[in-house]
Amino acid sequence: MKDLKEIFESRRSVNYFDPNKQIDNKVLKEIIELSTLAPSCFNLQPWEVLVIKSEEWKKKLYNEACKQDKVLEAPVVLAIIGNTRGFLRENPIWDEKIDKGATEEEIQGYINYSKTKLFPSEEKKVAFAARNSSLLAMSIMYAAKYYGLDTHPMIGFDEDKVKEVFSIDEDKIVTMLIALGYHDESKELKPRGKRLGYNDIVKEF
Ligand SMILES: Cc1cc2nc3c(=O)[nH]c(=O)nc-3n(C[C@H](O)[C@H](O)[C@H](O)COP(=O)(O)O)c2cc1C
């Protein structure tokens, strides 16, 4: 079993997937379920995942995703969706809080604070969706590695077109696509790009 450090060190954005190696449905389900342990604002989990497997739907996605070959070659492409209105009362997670003892008034207080202070503008609402669903996306990439699979995150796509093709609500964003499958080991990846280190990115206060 890989330890967490090994998972971090071995994850790469894999460009070449073996198109003949399919993903077991049970493994796919476990990857997604494990990833739902990611943290989210008020535990609201304002995210959804589209699992795109068929040649027909992958081709539609490929046409809107800069014709990136990995969309066709990976056995599965996930579209990570963020809900910009995921803090509103219809989210069933608020009911779970009520079941656990919160009052309706308290819940309305959180929602009101979200509407007026945390996410008042469209920009803040989109950031809410993107912040939360990106944590799910990263969790999926590490969970996949744990199960021996490889991934490639992508934002090279026409979001409006992808939303149209997959009938995604206008209140939702397509945070990123993740190609998922097994690296075709006959094709070597370029060495990993340089990372900025502690001294480059950290400001101490
Ligand atoms: C949000 C995001 C969007 C990305 N979009 C693309 C993309 O559309 N096409 C692509 O080839 N790589 C894309 N990448 C992959 C990056 O180029 C890659 O993660 C980076 O070069 C570091 O390489 P590594 O993941 O192998 O360590 C994206 C990565 C992230 C996190």
In tens, the pLDDT along 163-181 reads: 999 999 999 999 999 999 9
SS3 117: helix
- Average pLDDT of 14-26? 95
Q: Is the CB of 134 under 6 A from ligand 1?
A: no
Name the band, by pLDDT with cuts 50, 70 and 90, for residue 20. confident
CA atoms within 13 Å, Cβ hemisphere of 153: 18
The CATH classification of domain 4-201, taken from the options 3.40.109.10, 3.40.50.720, 3.10.129.10, 3.40.50.300: 3.40.109.10
Burial class (CB in 10 A: 0-12, 13-18, 19+), 73: buried
Where along the chain do its domains lie? Answer: 4-201
Q: Does residue 154 have its Cβ closer than 6 Å to ligand 1?
A: yes
Query: Which amino acid residue places its CA nearest to atom 23 of ligand 1?
Result: 13
E-assigned strand segments in 2-145: 47-52, 76-83
For the CA of 12, the closest atom of ligand 1 is 26
The yes-or-no verdict on residue 1 having pLDDT over 70 is no
